[in-house]
Structure 1
Amino acid sequence: MRRVTLLDTADVPVDLADWQIKDKQKNSMSLSGSISAGATQVIEIKAPVTLANKGGIITLLNAQGIKVHGVSYTKEQARQPGRTIPFQT
């Protein structure tokens, strides 16, 4: 099972309605729900989005389709399934 954990660093909740996660091949999955201020939300990645063990890209788009965050990961980082890979900007 592949998961992405989102962190709301703002002091207000974030409504995830119509937000999307995209992979390196631009496959997307819609998000829903919300994240409380300062809280996290674990998102289970579902097809058609895939997070390959060979490395890849994860992009987070808001309801207007604007890129909010994006990260890339390497084959080296992904070689331990189930391990959390922290990304910071």
Structure 2
Amino acid sequence: MNDVKTPERETVTLLNTADIPIDLAGWTIKDKQKNSLPLSGSIAAGTTKIIEIDTPVTLSNKGGIITLLNAQGVKVHGVSYTKEEARQPGRTIPFQN
């Protein structure tokens, strides 16, 4: 959740497990309060993209929810994290379906 050098710098890493690139135009990340961060660009097949979280979306240090919606507004993935997980700056927290 939090960066070691700059704790309020927060990122989400998206992984494309498909064998084709994914166009992120129109996709959004939402936080627990349903604030939206529009995405852009694409993710090549089998690669990752790091998304820097920016206002109005916030990732609470007390735990929260992160939702990924596609261009049609359909939930592609959603995860929750705990206060304990958020206490570990610099640590990547893997989420799986």
> Shorter-chain TM-score: what band?
over 0.9
Correspondence for 1:65: 73
Q: Give TM-score scaled by structure 1 length.
A: 0.98
- Count of residues in Structure 1 that have an aligned counterpart in Structure 2: 89
Query: Unaligned 5+ residue runs, structure 2?
Result: 1-8
Q: Give TM-score scaled by structure 2 length.
A: 0.90
Correspondence for 2:85: 77
1:30 to 35, 38, 59: 38
2:24 to 16, 25, 32: 16
Q: Does 1:4 align with 2:8?
A: no
Alignment root-mean-square deviation, CA: 0.5
Q: CA deviation at 1:67?
A: 0.3
Correspondence for 1:50: 58
Percent identity between matched residues is 78
